[in-house]
Every structure is written in structure tokens, then in C-alpha cells.
Amino acid sequence: MNKLEHLLQPIRVRQLEIPNRVVMPPMGSNLGNTDGTVSEANLAYFKRRIQSGAGFIITEITSVHPNGIASPRTLCVYDDRFIPGLAKMADIVHRQGAKIAMQLHHVGREGYYLLKEGKALAPSAIASYIYRIKPQEMNIEDIKETITAFGQAARRAREAGFDAVELHAAHGYLLMQFLSHHCNQRTDQYGGNFAGRARFVVECLQEVRKQVGEDFPVSIRISAEEIIKDGYTVEDMQSIMPILVEAGADIIHASFGTHGSPGGITSAPVEYEPGFKVELARKVKEVVKVPVIAVGRFTDPFMADEIVTRGDADMIAFGRQHLADPDFLINARLGRVQETFPCLACNQGCIERLLFEQGSIRCAINPETGQELEYPVQAAKKSKKVWVIGGGPGGLTAASEAARLGHQVTLFEAGKEAGGQVLLAARVPYKKVYGRWIEVLNARAIKHGAEIITNQEVNEEMINKGQPDEVILASGAGPVWPDIPGVDLPHVCYAQELLNGAVAPRGAVVILGSGLVGMETADYLREKGIKNINIIETEARSPVSTLTSHGYMLHKRLRTAGVKFLFNSRVTEIGEESILLQREPDKQQELKPVHQVIVATGSTGRNRLEDFLKQGGIPYHLIGDARKPRRIIEAVEEGAQAAWQL
């Protein structure tokens, strides 16, 4: 059996010995105080993340200058007053036996708050990819001031007890903006060819080295390739790697992509296989002798061990896996990998929550993440008899958490197995890992002491007879059947019936609804070889946003396969081999041939027992899709909160 002997070997960088090759890379949490200082929530989140035993911890972005702050809760290091809080972070890591680096960051033109105030700086006055607002072009004085700020920040990191620093020159932020000709069109010594555009990064490294001395390790996180049209390549980066090392870089953290890279590749969705960009680390290693960290949706320590064994990389970054299950490395070491929650790469609680909702860090499948201060550890003072009705992700989470806290829990699932809609999601392309998560969650609930009863519909009589102290109503949602002439014809079915195998796909298909269920059903049919697929949507566009990573990939895949979208269209009649559409107030269209019509027009909560519970005075919690159909993150969080409130 693989004992992770290479992954768990120590590695030396200058005078620093790192106990193993597992890296927790920087991940924004938005947990900091609004004045840029470290909060208690930061410390609690950080402490829980590192318990699995990663050897090298790199903090989330830490701003080196007031004009480089990404958001109001970004951690800062541009003044000595930040040192005490940051020192607490370093101390937590040292007590765990690991080593810690501070990531030094300047947002450049990719900070909405600074852009809105007209304070954002960048190499050239070219609008942000994301926010479409122009920054101010940096003058030489701005450049020199920023270089000094990186050096002073590194000095403060060392004074705070950190073991290393890392310069963030990746993912479209200021240092990378200087490298990219899309952002840097300067004609002075900081522009021009690739070597000229790299000068700012080189001088930042030199100043950092000057401030921290020769014995203090310095890492640099790069995007080894830009992954944007006409962007720089890994061969371009190879040309400056030796210069970066000479300037002071002791570790190369080989990431990829930028703001504007298609498909949100910097936080790769589930479509990308774990380790899909390891060749970038290998190419960096071809031109430098310092340790190189590989990046790319890593979840499996055993795969990581193979990569280190082959010499493709020296260290492996496990990012979102630390959010999904911070015990993953412990489990691998102890031979219980079957107990680890695998990261779904869904981005719901991390990237999308921070970027679109301006919230703090969460994980869609791990309710503890970002809520460490609220997460109950001790058993409840009084054990209650708790019934959980429904075995979807919300119900299973509620059952697992309630049982963990010492309650007597019985979960009833009407279907033949627990998992709810996630079982269907696991049948569509690229989402097999969703089924794996449900297996682990089911086993975790049982391990904690919950009894799971399947093929059991709960009714009022059962509740009266069983007399639970509290009920968690997690009965999910059912599909909405549209009121359309012909909808009762035998070739019309729910998307769920197709995905669960009750109905076989055939011929020319029309899908009613372009939400996630409709889109993923089309993707399922595409993979099955169905060529003629039309998706009908009453709105002007699909509710599945291309701004999300999975949404982008899904739209691209379907359009490439020739799937046709008919927006602003309403079905007025379904025939035996055709459908009639109302496309404009005075325009109708007949679509044929049509051999199968699949209904994906939304869902509605199943909460028929709520009135009975309310009238009977039985304490209950309505959670997940039973309350309102939404995503996994809402179901899981509400399930956990219901259990914590018992």
C-alpha cells in the first residue's frame, strides 16, 4: 500500500525545514476585521484548516499598501499595527508543527472598491476584465513606492514570526498585470517586451530579499500561463524563471490563468480532472533548481504522492479540499480515505459566495467552514428524540450533525436510498463525485449514530405514534408539471425520470426549461449520443449564469454539440410528433419532428406535513428545498443550523 512516503518527506528551503510536501495555498476568506486586522473568526478558521497536517501554510492575500486592498475585509500588513494579529496566526501554525508564509498582495486594477473610488492603480489605464472600469496608470513614483511597500511588508512578516513570504504574481493582480501585455502597454523601462514587463516583479523580489535577509525563504506565486487569447505562454515564463530565482525567489508556486480566463479556470470547476495542470510545474522545473509547487484541483494525497515521486513537482497545493474536509490528510495517513468529503469543485461557498454575494467563506458540503466560532463541539445538554423527514443533502446533514451532538436521530427517506436530487446530479457528465459525497455523508450520519430508514413515507399517524421531540422537515421538492395541451401524451416525461433511468432517451428531443436541471439533462443526452436537442425557455436567457465556472463550461459544451436554445418562447401545444411555440406576440412556430418532450420547468417545495406539525404544536424546522428550491449550500447549511439549534 502507498504510504505517502514521498509526499510526507520533509523539504529544506534555505535554512527552513518544512515537515512535508503538502501545501495549503492562499484562499480568500473575507473573515478579517474591517480595519484589515486579523479577527477571531480568522484564527478559528485557520486553526481548523491546519489540523490535517499540511506542512506549509500560505495565508490568504495580505495587502502591502492601502491602494492595493481587494475588499474591506482583506487582511493587511502595510503598517506595524497589523503585526500583533498576524503574529497570532503564525503562532497557531507553529503550535501545530507546520511552517507558514504570508502572501503579499496588491490588487491593482481588479479591486471594485478602489476602482469605484477612482483610486485603483495599474501599469496602464486599461479597464479591468471584470469590472470594466479604468484604473489610474502608475507613474514611476507609484512604482517605487509599491516596490518599497512589498519589502516593508516582508519585513513585518518576519517580525510577526512568519517563516517565509510569498509574492502574489498570479491570477490577474498587480504583479501579473505588469507581466501581461493586455494590461501593460507602457513604453518605459517597465513595459515593452516580456523581460521589460517582468522588471517590476524582479525589483519587488529584490527589495523583499533586501528587507528579509539571505536566510529567509521567499516564494512567488505565478500564473505559468495566462490562458487568455494572445496571452503569454509557459515558454515565455520559462524565459524569466532563472531571473526571478536570481532576484530572490526560493520557491515557485506554479498556478495559471487570470481574470478573464474562460471557464473560471483559476478555480477550476468539476469538469477538470484533479492535477490537470501539473505539466506547468514540470516545465518550470526544467529551467530552475528551486522547489516548485503544483496547482490544479488536487483532492487525493495518493495522486499527489505519485507526482512528487515522479519528480514533476516538489510540493502539492490542496486548496478547496481544505475547505471541504480539513481532515483529508489525517484520513489518508490512517487508511480511512473513505471517510473524507471530496471537494465537489462547485465553488458555491468559496468563490461564488465571496465574488457575487460579498459574503465570508463557506463550503457547500462542510457547514463548519467559516462558522468555526458557532460550530458546536460539545454534546447537547439534553438528548432529544429527533425525526428527520427526507434524506437529501439537507436531511442527511441534519441527521449527521444532530447525532454527533448526542441526539437520538431517525431519518426517514421515501425513496430506496438517501441522497435526494444529488443522486440525479451525480448521473450527469463530470459529476460522479457528487454521488461519492452522498455516500460519505450517509456513512458519516450512521457512524455518528443516526438510524436511516429508506422506502418509508412519513404520515401524520406515524408522527402521532412515534412522538418525536422535534422534527426536521427536509422533504425536498417535486417538479412542476406545466398546464399545456398534450402534456399528458406518453412521450412526455420529467427530466428526473430520464436521469434515474425510468425513461430511455430517444430521437429528437425537446427540453422545456433552461435552468440547471434542463441544461444538465441536455448534457446527459449529449453524452448518450442524442444529436437533435432543443431547449425551450420562456425568458430572454438561461438562469444558469455563464459567470459561474460550471455554467460557462455547460453552455459552451452544449453549444459546441449543436444544442439549440429557443429563448422568449412558450409552448402552446404538444403534439404526437411536434410542438407549437409562441415566440412573439403575433408569431407562432411549429417544431418537428419531436420524439420526446422532457419537462424541466422548475420545482416546488414538498412540505405537506408542515401544517400538521404546526397545528399539533410539534417543534419543527423547515429546511432546504422543502422551504424553497435552491442549491446544495443552502440545504446543507440549513440542515446543520437546524441540528445545532435543537
Catalytic residues: 173
* Alpha helices (H) along 248-315: 278-285, 301-310
Separation between Cα atoms, residue 152 and residue 599, nearest integer Å: 60
Question: 646 and 470 in contact (C-beta within 8 Å)?
Answer: yes
Secondary element (H or E) of residue 57: strand 56-63
R_g over Cα of the chain: 27
CB 220 within 8 A of CB 262: no
Find where cell 509526499 sits. Answer: 7
Residue 637: its H or E element: helix 632-644
Q: Are 357 and 405 in contact (CB under 8 A)?
A: no
Kind and range of the H or E element at 396? Answer: helix 393-404
Write out the DSSP string of 214-281: TTS-EEEEEESS--STT---HHHHHHHHHHHHHHT-SEEEEE---TT-GGGGGG--TTSPTTTTHHHH
| Of 340, 65, 333, the residue nearest 207 (C-alpha) | 65
For residues 224 and 236, give the distance between their C-alpha atoms in angstroms, rounded to a whole number. Answer: 9
* Residues 401 and 644 sit within 8 Å (Cβ to Cβ): yes
Judge whether 127 and 186 are in contact, CB under 8 Å: no
Distance CA 544, CA 452 (A): 34
CB burial of residue 116 (10 Å; 0-12, 13-18, 19+): exposed
The x, y and z cell numbers of residue 215, run together, are 536566510
Cα separation of 384 and 406, whole Å? 8
Going by DSSP bridges, is the β-strand pair 251-255/292-294 parallel, antiparallel, or unpaired? parallel
Contact between residue 326 and residue 53 where contact means Cβ atoms under 8 Å apart: no
Q: How far apart are the first and last CA of the chain?
A: 43
